[in-house]
């Protein structure tokens, strides 16, 4: 469980990275919108695990690879933003947030189950 300090620091990083991706993201990935969905910070505040989602990306894996290649630049820009709030800038680790796709997959499965039940109710009514 994260401490309040970790949670606060993660929120600051999430907001500032969101601003960075809003301003700079189009030059790195033209036509792709990058969203910082969550940030998890280690207890020593040395590593920030950043989860990103990509809208209009042909390949999320290529998009995350592009972001990872810019991680030094992103960390530098983040450092300029948080320099008054943190002693050091954490190492950034970027990951694809696939929770939206997972949620859509689960919703699709439930829809299929519900359609199957609706079809069975019609069959049950014919038997009675």
Average pLDDT per 10 consecutive residues for the chain, totaling 128 residues: 91 97 93 94 95 91 95 96 91 88 76 77 53
Per DSSP, what are the bridge partners of residue 92?
48
Superfamily of domain 4-97: K homology (KH) domain (3.30.300.20)
Q: Which 3 state secondary structure label does DSSP give 83?
A: coil
**Cβ-count burial 76-110 (b if 16+ within 10 Å, e if not):** ebbeebbeeeeeebbebebebbeeeeeeeeeeeee
- Whole-number pLDDT of residue 128: 47
Domain ranges of the chain: 4-97, 99-128
Q: What would the DSSP string read from start to end of 19-42?
A: HHHHHHHHHHSTT-EEEEEEEEE-
Sheet holding 47-55, edge to edge: 33-41, 47-55, 91-96
- Whole-number pLDDT of residue 93: 97
- Whole-number pLDDT of residue 120: 65
- Whole-number pLDDT of residue 111: 83
Angle among Cα 8, 63, 90 to the nearest 5 degrees reads 30
Residues in the chain: 128
CA dihedral 78, 84, 88, 90 (to 10 degrees): -30
């Amino acid at each position: 469980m994260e401490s309040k300090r970790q949670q606060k620091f993660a929120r600051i990083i999430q907001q500032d990275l969101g601003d960075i991706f809003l301003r700079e993201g189009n030059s790195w990935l033209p036509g792709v919108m990058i969203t910082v969905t969550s940030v998890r910070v280690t207890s020593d505040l040395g590593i920030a695990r950043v989860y990103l989602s990509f809208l209009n990306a042909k390949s999320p894996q290529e998009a995350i690879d592009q972001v990872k290649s810019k991680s030094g630049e992103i960390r530098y820009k983040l450092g300029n933003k948080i320099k008054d709030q943190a002693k050091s800038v954490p190492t950034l680790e970027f990951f694809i947030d696939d929770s939206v796709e997972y949620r859509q997959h689960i919703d699709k499965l439930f829809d299929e189950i519900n359609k199957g039940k609706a079809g069975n109710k019609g069959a049950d009514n014919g038997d009675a």
